Amino acid sequence: MRASKIHFLSLDDTLKKKLLAWAQQYNEIIWLDSNAHVHKYSRYEAILAVDAFTSVKTDQFGAFDKLKEYQSITTDWIFGYLTYDLKNDVEKLSSNNFDGLDFPDLYFFQPKKIFLFTHDSVELLYLNVVADKMDSDWQEILLTEIPEISTSEKNQFKICERTTKKTYLKKVNQMLQHINRGDIYEANLCQEFFSEFASIDPFAIFFHFNEISKAPFAAFLKLDHYFALSASPERYLKKEGKNVISQPIKGTAKRHKTNTEDALTAKNLAEDPKERSENIMITDLVRNDLSRFAEKGSVNVDELCKVYTFEQVHQMISTISCTISPQINSVEILRNTFPMGSMTGAPKISAMQIIEELEDSKRGLYSGAIGYFSPEADFDFNVVIRSILYNSNKKYISFSVGGAITASSIAENEYQECLLKANAMMKVLGASFD
């Protein structure tokens, strides 16, 4: 059982920094931030969950069954992540590429303390075992001194490519051969950038990252020595009552300094036949995934190829929804749609097999999902893209980028799109390429 208290206020950057600075005392932290992106599917402006009462951490084998058991027994708020490599629990696949991060494949926890922010209030939800701390914690948060967050000093480490440009171009052409043979229609090909023996301040990096990106599905995750600093623009899947929605992204264009040029770029993206083709293929894949558990005739494309503008880039997003029977288990919904189509390809299984063959790194949390389940078994998960991953014990920093390869892809253009997506991570890390 949880005790509840509501305070009426607006969430600003100062309070965000106080909250996360206060939260650093705990080994388990998840901060989910919409950055005031308001749309009809929004429920919370931000959520902070800290301090595990119980948890589940596992490898890929039987992971969804273990999550299903944990969620059903707990019947409470649980927060955590799913790595891309849970594909191996869904299909007969494997992950044998290099893994420098060594994150568990699945990690969820039941927080003792939760803060749910709407546009004009925050609700504190504390487990009864710590309910007596609610008022003193809130006062402590308000009095917390914000540590100095410096973004001017360059870090003393180099970022390396796991895959050289020459090799990446070769891999794109190999992917095109698979497409031309009819093995697949589209696949997401990714590459890792990394640094070894490097130390960062995740708190400072996240706030700098969030300030320059202002993404609608941003996340700060700390689970022991595993960190994810995410400026994700993409929702994977949300369930609220009988309604389930997915919002895949396919199609990217850079921002420009002048309004005229920027508007023209967004217009060109909306009309680009290659980008629309990528998006429509993945929309069809998501429709097929949702139809596995949706009520008959309820799968609907609410928005197709709509261009949204973010701080760094324009993105093409589609919204697919359905209704479900109350008897459908929430974890089964995830199992039936995972991994998300925007990070795999079509047909999905063939695309994942080819991705494993061509990529040089295990994806891990990259192109996985961070989010939560509510006590009512509703859930909301992002797609882990535009994210910096960090293992503080190994002092290993990683971020990956990629794009959809279709029959009309040009290898050099795909590589340049990767660099565009990598730009924000490089900027916030203050590092340089080796």
- Residue 125 near residue 116, CB atoms below 8 Å: yes
Among positive and negative, which fits the CA dihedral 269, 274, 278, 283? positive
Q: Which residues are catalytic?
A: 234, 250
Q: How far apart are CA 81 and CA 30, in angstroms?
A: 10
Q: How far apart are CA 102 and CA 88, in angstroms?
A: 16
Q: How far apart are CA 180 and CA 196, in angstroms?
A: 38
Query: What residues contact residue 167 under an 8 Å CB cut-off, 6+ apart?
Result: 360
With CA atoms as reference, report the closest residue to 82 among 243, 225, 221: 221
Q: Which residues of 296-329 are buried (b: 16+ CB within 10 A; e: fewer)?
A: eeebeeeeebebbebebbbbbbbbbbbbbeeebe
Q: How far apart are CA 267 and CA 343, in angstroms?
A: 24
With CA atoms as reference, report the closest residue to 76 among 378, 375, 344, 379: 375
Among positive and negative, which fits the CA dihedral 295, 297, 299, 300? negative
